Amino acid sequence: MAHQMKSAIEIQLDVLGALMLRDIRTRFGGTMWGYGIAVAWPCAHILIIMTAYKITHRPTPIGDSIVLFAVSGLSPYIIMNYMSRKMMEGPLQNRQLIYFPQVKFFDVVMSRAIVEICTSALSIFMVFFISTCVGAEIIPIDPFMFCVSMLFSLAFAMGLGFTNVFISQIFPQWQMVFIVPGLIMYFTSGTVIPIEAMPAVVYDYVQWNPLMQIVKVCRSGFYPGYGADAEILYVLIVTGTLALVGLLGMRFVVPRFLN
């Protein structure tokens, strides 16, 4: 029994490894340059924000470094945006693989999730590396809170990704529809426009945005005293609910559509 169990686990790991390699080769052209572009692409967000503030001659909303402001806000968004979308695209792009006996639907989802975790980690590292190269000081004052915010970002992105996978298998057009809530979360997260600058009526509503709470936690690692009112428990509840809905949907509802 132990030998059979070990063999089953080894087979499962081999399947995940093969799916991850196939995913990287098909999506990034099978070259280091292709994957490198995908990793470095999120840096464009920082350049856009910096350019917008320079052109409009607007002062830095928090502190005196626009690079630090952009990095501290965009790091959680980069993880949430790319991971939640790419997890959804995985099963839609690789549906034919599910017909192989060794490959399960959940294998395809998790292989894409693991690839996105690695890509997100490299992207954040690249953002810090490039920022340091241009002379910006973006070392967290509280590294622990920054790491916590990154874990929250990964957990929230994965929970949202599971739900996106579930919905997109029933309603394939969700892949395009999700752009709208994604943009809403982006513009109400304080990434570009600090929430403190928003009208009181708007501020009351953006409190329901989990990404905004995560951005608060992330910035608390860079700005002393910032983000003390972040609702961490709320983020955990939303993350757990999204993951539960997505996993239950993939377990009990999605197989009917696949068959």
Question: What are the tens digits of pLDDT across the range 171-215?
Answer: 999 999 999 999 999 999 998 888 887 888 888 889 999 999 999
Type of residue numbered 202: V
- Residue 151 CA to residue 239 CA, distance in Å, equals 12
Please say whether the beta carbons of 160 and 247 come within 8 A.
no
pLDDT at 4 > cutoff 60: no
CB-side neighbour CA atoms (13 Å) of 235:
25
Mean pLDDT for the stretch of residues 35-46: 73
- Residue 127 CA to residue 150 CA, distance in Å, equals 14
Could you tell me the two tokens for 89? 């695209």
- Residue 106 CA to residue 96 CA, distance in Å, equals 14
For the ranges 46-60, 68-82, 118-132, 193-207, the lowest mean pLDDT is seen at 46-60
Mean pLDDT for the stretch of residues 248-254: 93
State the pTM of this model. 0.89
Question: What are the tens digits of pLDDT across the range 127-169?
Answer: 888 778 877 778 899 999 999 999 999 999 999 999 999 999 9
Nearest to 257 by CA among 171, 195, 158: 171
- Residue 74 CA to residue 24 CA, distance in Å, equals 24
Mean pLDDT for the stretch of residues 97-114: 87
The pLDDT-based confidence of 18 (bands split at 50, 70, 90) is confident
pLDDT at 56 > cutoff 70: yes
Could you tell me the two tokens for 56? 């409009």
